[in-house]
């Protein structure tokens, strides 16, 4: 079957590329859960996103590589977390010491109630979103599903982010991208587009860094 053969070759090519990926090798050597960790490390180095004492919420946190970095940047010399780190995902995630993990859809009332209990009336300094749907390979459908997650993350920020807070989200360039950037510019005072080195050239993903909510 030609289709099956093509898919098999595609999978084999992906596996070979993954195994030989320098960021994959480096992440394993340094004890990180995924190569995507270096995207956040670069973003943080350039944008100074994370500081001890902050309250940080990460959407789409599993498997937890970004969460590892957040914990490192918010730890004291003794290794304790200074601040609050809340990781959220519909998928399970192995525990990380000092991090509160909420499994479930953040739109669900039960999850929202647990988050409200943890925050105890406080607003959030940083919202990180590396969320992405399972891609179907149909560009129009995938772009729409990605955009929906971006819009949900923005709604989350409007509910929880401090006025001087920072929002970082992964976006795929394509249908709806420019409109979403405009929506961020209407909501935040400063919006930057970043393409970390660890983000593959073949990928349409970029990261948007938005700062300081405009008065509503």
Residues annotated catalytic, as ranges:
170
Please report, in angstroms and rounded to a whole number, the separation of the first and last CA atoms in the chain: 57
Task: Report how far residue 87's alpha carbon sits from residue 183's, in angstroms, rounded to the nearest whole number.
Answer: 25
Residue 80 · residue 74 · CB < 8 Å: no
Beta bridge partners of 89: 103
Exposure string for 136-164, b = 16+ CB within 10 A, e = fewer: eeeeeebbebbbebbeebbebbeebbbee
Tokens of 101: 């993990």
Strands 205-213 and 188-194: antiparallel
Tokens 């090798």 identify what position?
Answer: 25
């Amino acid at each position: 079957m030609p289709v099956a053969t093509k898919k098999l070759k595609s999978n084999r090519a992906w596996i070979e590329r993954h195994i030989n990926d320098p960021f994959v090798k480096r992440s394993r050597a340094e004890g990180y859960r995924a190569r995507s960790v270096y995207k956040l490390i670069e973003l943080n180095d350039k944008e100074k996103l994370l500081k001890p004492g902050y309250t940080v919420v990460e959407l789409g946190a599993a498997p937890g590589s970004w969460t590892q970095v957040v914990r490192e940047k918010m730890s004291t010399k003794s290794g304790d977390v200074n601040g609050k780190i809340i990781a959220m995902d519909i998928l399970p995630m192995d525990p990380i010491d000092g991090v509160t993990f909420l499994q479930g859809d953040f739109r669900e009332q039960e999850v929202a109630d647990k988050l409200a209990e943890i925050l105890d009336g406080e607003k959030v300094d940083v919202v990180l979103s590396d969320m992405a749907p399972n891609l179907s390979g149909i560009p129009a459908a995938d772009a729409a599903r990605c955009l929906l997650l971006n819009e949900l993350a923005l709604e989350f920020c409007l509910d929880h982010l401090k006025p001087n807070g920072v929002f970082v989200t992964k976006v795929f360039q394509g249908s709806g991208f420019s409109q979403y950037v405009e929506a961020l510019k209407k909501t935040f005072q400063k919006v930057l587009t970043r393409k970390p080195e660890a983000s593959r050239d073949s990928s349409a993903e970029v990261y948007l860094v938005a700062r300081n909510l405009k008065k509503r």
